[in-house]
Amino acid sequence: MAGNRTLTIIKPDAVEKNLIGEILQRFIDGGFRKLTEEKAKEFYKVHADKPFYNSLVAFMTSGPVVAAILEKDNAVEDFRKLIGATNPEEAEEGTIRKDYAESIERNCVHGSDADDTAQREGDFFFSELEKL
Ligand code: CDP
Ligand code: MG
């Protein structure tokens, strides 16, 4: 029986030509799904009682996302350093959030906060086991 999953790579030529956004839109137009509300709620359930939770879930399901597992020694800490503080106003110069985030909610990128969280979040997006 046919499965419900495929792997894609947006290749270096498309990245170089700044086509990531447009290609993602084609994926969506082709019937490939965005993060569902159910998935977004589950992913951020640790924040379920926070005032920003509903808005965050709405934001995270508002368009396509790209999820990836990145590898490097000391990955969690080094990646959090690269992306900067949650609130772009508090992020250090040269970090991704400082350079590109427009608000504390719309802050461009997620990074896991610990090794065990990284494992769980990676499984959440990429495990064969259906969690929901
Ligand atoms: O993403 P990070 O681990 O840096 O922050 P978090 O405290 O785990 O919050 C998760 C996400 O919720 C943030 O990245 C923001 O997108 C959003 N958030 C928000 O909208 N308002 C806040 N006061 C805090 C977080
Ligand atoms: Mg977090």
Q: Is 105's C-beta closer than 6 angstroms to any atom of ligand 1?
A: yes
In order of 12, 33, 59, 68, 80, the CA distances from 1 in angstroms are: 33, 20, 35, 27, 41
Both tokens of 98, joined, read 């400082």
What phi-psi label fits residue 108: left (phi over 0), alpha (psi between -120 and 50 degrees) or beta?
Answer: left
In a domain, 92, yes or no: yes
CB distance 44 to 84 below 8 Å: no
CATH at 77: 3.30.70.141
Per-residue pLDDT of the chain (132 residues; tens, 9 = 90+): 677 778 889 999 999 999 998 998 899 899 888 899 999 999 999 999 999 999 999 999 998 888 899 999 999 999 999 999 999 999 999 999 999 999 999 999 999 999 999 999 999 988 865 544
Number of domains in the chain: 1
For residue 116, the model assigns a pLDDT of 97
Measured distance CA(131)–CA(89) in Å, rounded: 35
| Residues catalogued as catalytic | 110
In a domain, 45, yes or no: no
In a domain, 22, yes or no: no
Q: How many CB atoms lie within 10 A of CB 14?
A: 13
For residue 94, the model assigns a pLDDT of 98
For residue 5, the model assigns a pLDDT of 79
- pTM here? 0.87
Strands (E), the chain: none
* Total residue length of the chain: 132
Q: Is 86's C-beta closer than 6 angstroms to any atom of ligand 1?
A: yes
